[in-house]
A and B are shown apart, each in its own frame.
Chain A
């Protein structure tokens, strides 16, 4: 069966510091991978998605970047965090073929920028 991992689970970082959040998927190959941000009490904002190694699409301009160095690894980064980067970050995967496929979410990383 497929599983998705995210770490760290929680993170407190000062403004201006770098960020690296990691997401890995097990039990599938060539998945589509997604990064979402969820502000407190709000919906899901799609940040990035990737259909393959080295292929990143950005949905909104921002202070963040994403990379996919391996097939089942997706990394969210920032060189200098802003207060507004605080939130709950979710990684999701779906099979990379066919249509109408479900996205499955990881446990999330709660980021607090102080």
Chain B
């Protein structure tokens, strides 16, 4: 059983669509990270959340601690958003990190 589950695994969208990627986790956490991995392999940290909501440009991340769930939203999607999005959580006891398997997003022009 994975401590972090992401859905969907793969997602194809038309340019301009609103996109939602979900992350559910089963452990108590101190923080949740959303990472973006570009087709070339580079990884960028998009958000770190411990509560509420954060927004950066067209990206919005929310977290519900009680429901152990987080969502990453992309508004007005663009082909350059095509990447793998990875959810990662840091446990609130000990120092373990757990990673989702990623959501592969393709935005078609």
- Bound together: no
Residues of A within 8 A of B (CB): none
